[in-house]
Amino acid sequence: MALHVVLHGSRVRLQPLEDHHHDELFAISRDPRIWALQRVSAHESPELFDEWYASIQMGFAHYFDDRLVGHTSYANDRPHDLAVEIGNTWLVPDAWSSGANAEAKYLLLRHAFEDEGYRRVSFKTESTNERSRAALEALPAQLEGIALKDMVVRGGERRDSAIYAVIDDDWPNVKANLERRLARRG
């Protein structure tokens, strides 16, 4: 996966993480709502934020209308299998329901399928995260199942994960749906 590429959309820019993004992301991530269903409660301390930041494999600073609004990343890249995961996504609350997430997913999916030739992009979210699950179903990504006790999060909680995927066969329909949605938002 080519990581050092900036992905540009009409309102979203995904920029590979650079050293300065650590402090910039920390500064905008203090709202506890951002971290309520994330693996680490990174808003609680600089040390927890550092733990989260160190866990990012292939991250992007997420800009919306030229303003830093959050983070997203590829993860679990398996180039031999032509499969990758998208996740570790969070946005500041005032960017929720703005179209910023949909356009970021569009850019990441397009890059994986069209530029990299991948055949599968998966997503894993906490099974109780209704907002995230609704966004994935709106792509539409296919729910493949619930992985029980999949992760230990937030200092010891058990997490069941909802697993979704888009495969290359479905990409043309997913792409058309996202392009229609993004065109309506202007």
Q: Is 142 left (phi over 0), alpha (psi -120 to 50) or beta?
A: beta
Of the chain, the end-to-end C-alpha distance in Å amounts to 30
| Strands 83-91 and 120-126, sheet pairing | parallel
Contacts from 19-25 at CB under 8 Å and sequence distance 24+? Answer: 21/61, 21/68, 22/53, 24/61, 24/68, 25/53, 25/61, 25/68, 25/70, 25/71
Digit-coded pLDDT (tens) for 133-178: 999 999 999 999 999 999 888 888 899 999 999 999 999 999 999 9
- Taking the model in full, what pTM does it have? 0.94
Domains and CATH numbers, the chain: 7-185 (3.40.630.30)
At 186, the pLDDT band (50, 70, 90 cuts) reads low
If DSSP codes are grouped into helix, strand and coil, which group holds residue 169? coil
